[in-house]
Amino acid sequence: MQGRRKRDWSLWIKAVFGLLLAVPALGGAAAPATPALKDPGPPFIVLCYHRFLAKPDDAEKEAQAQYQLPLAEFKWQMQYLKDKGFTPISSQELKDHWFQGKPLPLKPVLITFDDGFRSVYRDAFPVIQKEKIPTVFFLYTKFIAYGEAALKRRMEGKEKNVKTNKKTDALHDADMLEMQKSDMDFESHTTNHLNLGLESEKVPAAEFATLLESELDEPVTFIENRFGKKPTMLAYPYGVYSPRILEQVKKSGYELAFTVNPGPNDRSIDPLKLRRNLVLYPISHEKFAEIFQDGVLHLENLSPGDGEEIVTDKPLFQATLKDDIDPKTLEMQLGPDKLKTSFDPATHILTHQLTKPITHGGHMVTLAGVDKAGQRRVYTWYFRIKHHHPEKVGASK
């Protein structure tokens, strides 16, 4: 027995010594190779629409007009997807792919709608129904509830001579039930469509926690009671998210959540930070086609972090590339502005230090480059600079 213990002890010492020898000496290691990537699966695209109209409305304010897509354009876009071999997928197909590893069909695209405007039912739904396209509708439920209450009052004659605004009219219950039968899934866009980043600065932490919980939990009950299916997908209002918001998103039972950061997705993306392309008016046919041409750029060690809330208005931008990208093709943008960057081929780290302050609030950073196979890859992330509210210190309600 004693001899066996000595042999075991000797083998253990050799194993540990072997591991120590395998660690590169400090300061003498060669330049690291591009970090290895596990297969993240094929890319998929998510599109986001809001409202529709028969033709452009010149009287509409520019800020709102961009969310109203002429019906003819929507028809063209759906035909383009069909002609180019794209396959619209359902929310269930995406979940099965994400959580069970089931393969997606060729050139997958998820088509989504936000808010709850009735023009989706009136204008877009006939196109969807005819082509048998699966879709997802993210509802902000207070809008639906208010719309139904107003409709009930009009039908009961309690509100006379009230004209409805077809541009902002909410979906009716019968509309939604009909659309559900045609493979439309209803999911959450929160209760009141608030900018939760701003709300977090208006009230003390305890009050915000209560607000956040109700904004995320109430739609679950509303949609489950209405459609017999518990929503497990969320679209962030205004694309705003943060570590605190993500914490409650998980607690409320959401499995997939969508930003408005443009670009493609694969399973390397955080499932609660999925990319989604806003389809806004006007958009040329060439720009629409470009949405589907990029692959996912794989990054790590982002600064500022994706969804991070910071206080400095002159942040250092930094990212480590995990793909083998031609450094000459690398481009970084802060919103529409191009940034001059430096890239270290030994560490694969790209950096840019802002020298001029930028506004408080939300910002998007886009990094793009072409890999050695000629594929353009892109990744967009979001961060937020906190506003300062000195009056909040010690405040309570």
Task: Write the CATH number for 130.
Answer: 3.20.20.370
Name the residue with tokens 């959540």. Answer: 257
Residue 31 lies in a domain: no
Is the domain of 282 the same as that of 330? no
Average pLDDT (293-314) is: 97
Tell me if 222 sits within 8 A of 138, measured CB to CB. Answer: no
Higher pLDDT, 319 or 16: 319
Annotate 133-198 with three-state secondary structure.
CCEEEEECHHHHHHHHHHHHHHHCCCCCCCCCCCCCCECCHHHHHHHHHCCEEEEECCCCCCCHHH
Task: Output the pLDDT for position 65.
Answer: 86
Give the structural domain span for 354. 299-385
Residue 178 lies in a domain: yes
- pTM, full prediction: 0.86
Q: Which of 277, 270, 363, 370 has its CA nearest to residue 315?
A: 363
From 294, 317, 347, the end of a domain falls on 294
pLDDT at 259 over 90: yes
Would you state the structure tokens that stand for residue 41, as one six-digit string? 């699966």
Is the domain of 327 the same as that of 242? no
Is the domain of 77 the same as that of 159? yes
Query: pLDDT of 155-207, one tens digit each?
Result: 666 655 555 676 779 999 999 999 999 999 999 999 999 999 999 999 999 99
From 279, 294, 309, the end of a domain falls on 294
Average pLDDT (359-364) is: 97
Is the domain of 278 the same as that of 146? yes
Is the domain of 340 the same as that of 270? no
Residue 344: enclosing H or E segment and its boundaries?
strand 342-344
Average pLDDT (233-254) is: 98
Is the domain of 281 the same as that of 334? no
Query: pLDDT of 115-143, one tens digit each?
Result: 999 999 999 999 999 999 999 999 999 99
d(CA 59, CA 69) in angstroms, rounded, equals 14
Is the domain of 262 the same as that of 323? no
Is the domain of 235 the same as that of 138? yes
Is the domain of 357 the same as that of 256? no
Residue 263 lies in a domain: yes
Tell me if 326 sits within 8 A of 161, measured CB to CB. Answer: no
pLDDT at 390 over 50: no
Neighbours of 54 (CB within 10 A): 11
CA 185 to chain centre: 17
Mean pLDDT of the chain: 87
Is the domain of 289 the same as that of 323? no
